[in-house]
Structure 1
Amino acid sequence: MLKVLLALLPLISIMFMIFVLKKSSIFTGIVACVLTTAIAISPIFNTNILNLTEPIIKSLLTIVIIAYILFFGFLLFHLMDKAGAINGIASSITQATDDKILQILILALGLSPLIESVSGFGLAIIVIAPILIALGFNPIKSSLIALISLCIIPWATLAMGTIIGATLGNIYLDRLGIGSALMCIPIYVYYAILVVYIGVGFNALKKRLFTIIFVGFLLGASVWVCNRFVSVELAGLFGSLTVIFVIFLMIKQSNKTYGTSTLEKESHNIKNITPYLLLIVLLFTSRIVIPLKNYLSSTFKLTSEKYNFELSIFYSPGFFLFIVCIFTIFFYRLQLTEIRDSFVSTFRKCYPVIITTFLYVAVSEIMSEAKMIQLLSLLAAQSFGQFYVFISPLVGAIGGFLTGSNTASNTMFIRLQTETALHIGMSPILVACSQNVSSSLMTMVNPSRVTLSCSVCKISTHENEIQKKILFVGIGTLAIIFIELLVLFILQ
């Protein structure tokens, strides 16, 4: 019993420090690392301190993969922001139609997922919430819609959290992406209904219910198609652009105006999203053209069998983000001061995320080295048996809620989830998808995200109210995941 309690202590300490003491993620990670190391080398687990160098090196190598994608993802966002492209995309959406429902859907299920796919970490809130307020929605509604619009998190920053989850969980990335996308389809329909209900009320929702359901389904289905036939990394970007394109077609059909000014606007709109289109083309080509795929994935490849590390420099999404960043600088003719400011903003945003993620990965790797995760997974398997599948989304939800990051949550819990699944003779893919989706979508309930949303909307005095309301959204999300798991459980 003492051994189990000590194995749980690192996870309990993380929850206690974040949720009760309200400490920063970096401080929490440092304390958790020190505590986990102390427990690992204690007589209870009796791990040789020299053996802990391996998990630390593994953690550093994992961070290299994350940083490569994250840095250039943030940089692309800031470069486009300096060029006015982000505001241009937002402006074209708001000027396209006076239909409140289509405005909400294109912002919440189109533009926000588009921004999150490439930048991540809640940056879409900063763009979406002010636009909603400018369109006439009150700040509380705008705050809630902006939080719910962070729905593409499993594929945010080109699916970084999902990639790390697949790596640490020792499962195939494409299977995790496809399974997560299938679980998200009904959830996206739920979100589409919810954001419209919050924005314009029940009567307006009832009149356009079919259109609303269709847009939610479209986002989920297009994300699944990209995961299934193209690549996991590209899915969020592809899904969001599909939604934006289809809604613009709806707007055109209703307006039926094609004057010169309309053509000029279309040309300007295409210019604003050109970097994203280029990124899609590059990623799509590199994943579909087999000879090119084989060349890129095998050229300049860094590997280490001892540390289970593999990074193809020219095949990683980070490389294509780098190319698009260079293209963006020349395409928009950015000044040196704008480029410098973009780099400074990127460094400021990146380093806390990278340090925090490293600390959580290190905790996970040290726990694995000391056999703590194996002990906890065996205990969970013995305690819940086949019913553990219904516990898995709660574990993921706790991780997403506490850390506000799918990457951090997956590094903490996905190995525990997959190893428990193996102990009970269940496919690890199912619990990994449950972990990935619940963890991702509960990041919108994270207190720091709520604080950011309230700050942008200038309603900090309503923070508790927003926190309670978004918590109910999270409970509804978990209820859908439970229903999906129950159906699968019955069918097995």
Structure 2
Amino acid sequence: MEFIPQINPLGNIWLSAFVALLPIICFFLCLIVFKTKAYTAGFLTVIVATLVALFVYKMPFIGAITSIFLGFLTGLWPIAWIIIAAIFLYKLSIKSGQFEIIKQSVMLITPDHRIQVILIGFCFGAFLEGAIGFGGPVAITAALLVGLGLRPLQAAGYCMIANTAPVAFGAVGIPIIAMAQSVGLSPDQIAAMVGKILTPLCFIVPFFIIYLMDGIKGIKETFPIIFVAAASFTIAQYLTSNFIGAELPGIISAVFSLICTTIAISMFKIKNIVRYDGKTDFNDIEKLKLGKIIYAWSPFILLIIFVVIWSNHSFQVFVKENLAFTNLKISFSALTGDLQIFKPSLVVEGQKSGVQALFMSIPLISTAGTAIFFAAICSIFVLKVKPSDAVSCFSATIKEMALPCLTIGLVVAFAYITNYSGASSTLGLAFSQTGKAFTFFSPIIGWIGVFLTGSDTSANLLFGALQQATAIKLQMQDTLFLAANSTGGVVGKMISPQSIAVACAAVGLVGKESDLFKFTIKYSIIMIILIGLWISFIAYFMPAIIPDSVAVKIS
């Protein structure tokens, strides 16, 4: 039995796109208008998406149920596992009493909350995004900022906006590399174009965060430091993406910006310190010895060490060759029988384009969540946390994460049934019919893709072929549209239901997801419009900066 998704099931692409949009409309209404809890919004959205899949796209019932199961379990592993491990590590730091030292050490650098958000949310968050991705950066940095005195909604919102800068390159360039392989091009060409498109966005983000926190006055008071943070990150990302490749722009730009910003803080003293916890007296900040600071930060130093090891290609090969038994697979063949669900072909309607996987892979060791968990286990011994206290921390983490995990599972289930049925492809194909105006809509497709899937990698794989085919049809460089897809996705990340659930879980705002969604949605819409205009300007007024396509042989 075969299911080949029909991308235009109603015969009119715009009518089909409207129906495909109904689950997304349902989600928006639930969070913004009815202000339901995220898991309720996720559940209702899954129901609407299932009805659309069954009655409009004629998806077999068994296929729909299987895609929901696959999506839900993928939401739990590896995504929820990363967040559980990150929150566990954070709780161990608090339980040991060392988080108070961390707070003091940050206060020694700067007690100003505005600069702390740039240091931790922007610089450190970008490093984590370049290393692990999957929501871990926002969870860790937002939790740190709450511990430093920011209000939970502030911390989550600012970190989600800050996270836009490095998302396009993701964890060691995977979003770019995966898309390049899927369309048969060189990842270096796409990475170079992404670096050029992102230049203004990366430079503006730190200033925009400070503006949201304290208006024009805040920008004036912190200008030298924020300028250094923005310029160092932007320059490093541009140079790395254009002259090294797709793997390291996130990590190199983050580390370089963190160093430069710390130096700038020591050179430029802020006269007016801004705090959101009412603290005005900073005379009680204790001078700390370097060894004491390093010891307090040891859980996060271990986090960096383990993440770097896990990101190393040699380690991944070692796990694959020697620990293959830790890569579990859950097959749904007993449920699906001989059903085959094909990927929708965005070039030729009804054409077979590869089979969707109807099994789930569970890499127990090689996933980033396990790297963070190992860092947490080592931290128990380094910080001398009692075993009973460690168990208590993990138990509390599981209890706190129960509803967020349910939410994450539901929104990923929604993404899977939308993708497997062909509904998400309908939305992409509709935008590709806009002719020369497609230069504006190209990044919007990536924006929708990341909203649906929560992942720039998934959005690139989902719509890469469509972007390339449309470029060929319009006789334009496909590297521009492929880069636009990834760039548009970066601002879709801040409104992705998956990201919203993760951020709220990290700062204790479970049940308040609608508040965070309302905070980020307006800025996401403004940014994607500006990116669309920027892509159009490049296409028609600066075509010389677009790298030529370089085909590669995919083994």
TM-score, normalised relative to structure 2: 0.65
- Once residues 247 and 8 of structure 1 are traced to their aligned partners in structure 2, the CA distance between those partners, rounded to angstroms, is 43
Is structure 2 residue 144 aligned with structure 1 residue 91? no
Runs of 5+ in structure 2 lacking a partner? 1-11, 270-284, 330-355, 472-477, 547-555
Runs of 5+ in structure 1 lacking a partner? 134-138, 256-260
In structure 2, the partner of 1:136 is: none
In structure 1, the partner of 2:205 is: 191
- Once residues 412 and 52 of structure 1 are traced to their aligned partners in structure 2, the CA distance between those partners, rounded to angstroms, is 19
In structure 2, the partner of 1:278 is: 302
Q: Shift of the alpha carbon at 1:103?
A: 5.3
The answer on whether the counterparts of 1:361 and 1:411 sit within 8 Å (CA) in structure 2 is no
Is structure 2 residue 376 aligned with structure 1 residue 325? yes
The 3 A distance-change label for structure 1 pair 124 and 276 is closer
The DSSP-based 3-state class of the residue aligned with 2:358 is coil
Cα deviation 1:177-204 (Å, max 9, x = unaligned): 8876765553342232234456676577
Is structure 2 residue 471 aligned with structure 1 residue 421? no
- Once residues 93 and 146 of structure 1 are traced to their aligned partners in structure 2, the CA distance between those partners, rounded to angstroms, is 19
Letter aligned with residue 527 of structure 2: T
- Once residues 451 and 285 of structure 1 are traced to their aligned partners in structure 2, the CA distance between those partners, rounded to angstroms, is 29
- Once residues 517 and 316 of structure 2 are traced to their aligned partners in structure 1, the CA distance between those partners, rounded to angstroms, is 45
The answer on whether the counterparts of 1:180 and 1:436 sit within 8 Å (CA) in structure 2 is no
The 3 A distance-change label for structure 1 pair 415 and 221 is same
The DSSP-based 3-state class of the residue aligned with 2:160 is coil
In structure 2, the partner of 1:351 is: 402
Is structure 2 residue 58 aligned with structure 1 residue 46? yes
- Once residues 249 and 401 of structure 2 are traced to their aligned partners in structure 1, the CA distance between those partners, rounded to angstroms, is 23
Q: Shift of the alpha carbon at 1:324?
A: 0.6
In structure 2, the partner of 1:10 is: 23
| Residues 6-15 or 316-325, more deviating | 6-15
Pairs within 5 Å for 1:39-188: 39-42=52-55, 44-60=56-72, 62-63=74-75, 64-97=77-110, 105-106=118-119, 108-110=121-123, 119-120=136-137, 124-125=141-142, 127-128=144-145, 131=148, 147-153=157-163, 184-188=198-202
| Residues 422-431 or 311-320, more deviating | 422-431
The answer on whether the counterparts of 1:367 and 1:373 sit within 8 Å (CA) in structure 2 is yes
Aligned mate of 1:30, from 43, 56, 77: 43
The answer on whether the counterparts of 1:417 and 1:435 sit within 8 Å (CA) in structure 2 is no
The 3 A distance-change label for structure 1 pair 122 and 20 is farther
Cα deviation 1:20-72 (Å, max 9, x = unaligned): 22222222222222233233332x43332233344235324533232343322
* Larger RCO (CA under 8 A, 6+ residues apart): 2
The 3 A distance-change label for structure 1 pair 473 and 340 is same
Pairs within 5 Å for 1:229-308: 242-251=256-265, 264-288=288-312, 291-301=314-324, 302=327, 306-307=357-358
- Once residues 299 and 239 of structure 2 are traced to their aligned partners in structure 1, the CA distance between those partners, rounded to angstroms, is 22
Aligned length: 464
Cα deviation 1:61-106 (Å, max 9, x = unaligned): 5332323433222222222232234443232121234788755643
The 3 A distance-change label for structure 1 pair 268 and 355 is same
Aligned mate of 1:385, from 435, 438, 452: 435
Please, what is the CA RMSD of the aligned residues? 5.0
Q: Shift of the alpha carbon at 1:326?
A: 0.8
- Once residues 451 and 326 of structure 1 are traced to their aligned partners in structure 2, the CA distance between those partners, rounded to angstroms, is 25
Identity, in percent, stands at 16
The DSSP-based 3-state class of the residue aligned with 2:42 is helix
Per residue, is there more helix in 1 or in 2? Answer: 1
- Once residues 51 and 226 of structure 1 are traced to their aligned partners in structure 2, the CA distance between those partners, rounded to angstroms, is 43
TM-score, normalised relative to structure 1: 0.72
In structure 1, the partner of 2:232 is: 218
Is structure 2 residue 491 aligned with structure 1 residue 478? no
- Once residues 165 and 322 of structure 1 are traced to their aligned partners in structure 2, the CA distance between those partners, rounded to angstroms, is 27
The 3 A distance-change label for structure 1 pair 376 and 452 is closer
